[in-house]
Amino acid sequence: MSQDQQRKIAIVTGGSRGIGRSTVESLARRGVNVIFTFHSHSENADAVVAGAKSFGVQVFALQLDAGKVSEFTAFEERVKAALAELGAERFDYLVNNAGNNHRNMPLESVTEEEMDSIYSVHFKGVLFLTQTLLPLMNDGGRIVNVSTTRTRLSSRGGAAYASMKGAVDVLSRHMATELGPRRITVNVIAPGAVATDFSGGIVRDNPEVNKLVANHTALGRVAGPDDIGPAIASLLADDNGWVNGQRIEVNGGVMM
For the chain, domain boundaries: 3-250
Asked if 229 and 127 touch (Cβ cutoff 8 Å), the reply is no
The maximal CA–CA distance of the chain, rounded, in angstroms, is 59
Residue 201 has pLDDT above 70, yes or no: no
Looking at the chain, how many residues does it have? Answer: 256
Considering 6-15, 155-164, 214-223, the range whose residues carry the highest mean pLDDT is 6-15
Model confidence at 173, pLDDT cuts 50, 70, 90, reads very high
Query: 1 pLDDT band (50/70/90 cuts)?
Result: very low
Q: Which of 36, 91, 93, 161 is an active site residue?
A: 161
Does residue 161 have an active-site annotation? yes
Neighbours of 233 (CB within 10 A): 24
Give pLDDT, residue 52.
97
Helix 72-85 vs helix 125-133: crossing angle, to nearest 10: 40
Give the CATH number of domain 3-250; options: 3.90.1640.20, 2.30.42.10, 3.40.470.10, 3.40.50.720.
3.40.50.720
Distance from C-alpha of 136 to C-alpha of 3, rounded to nearest angstrom: 20
Q: What is the pLDDT averaged over residues 104-132?
A: 93
Cα 91 from chain centre: 16
- Single out the residue of 73, 77, 58, 61 nearest to residue 9, CA to CA: 58
Name the average pLDDT for the chain: 91
Binned at pLDDT 50, 70 and 90, residue 223 comes out as confident
Give the residue among 3, 14, 95, 15 at the shortest CA–CA distance from 58: 3
Residue-level pLDDT at 203: 65
37 exposure class (CB count in 10 Å sphere: 0-12, 13-18, 19+): buried
What's the average model confidence in pLDDT over 214-237?
A: 90
CA 166 to chain centre: 15
- Check residue 103 and give its pLDDT: 65
What does the pLDDT average to over 176-182?
Answer: 98
Strands (DSSP E) contained in the chain are 9-12, 33-38, 59-63, 91-96, 137-146, 185-191, 247-250
Task: Give the pLDDT of residue 227.
Answer: 94
Q: What is the pTM of this model?
A: 0.93
Tens of pLDDT, residues 82-91: 999 999 999 9
Q: How confident is the model at residue 199 (pLDDT cuts 50, 70, 90)?
A: low
Q: In whole angstroms, what is the distance from residue 78 CA to residue 83 CA?
A: 9
Give the whole-angstrom CA distance, residue 117 versus residue 112: 9
Q: Are 194 and 223 within 8 A, CB to CB? A: yes
Q: Are the beta carbons of 42 and 64 closer than 8 angstroms?
A: no
Give bridge partners of residue 63 from the DSSP assignment: 38
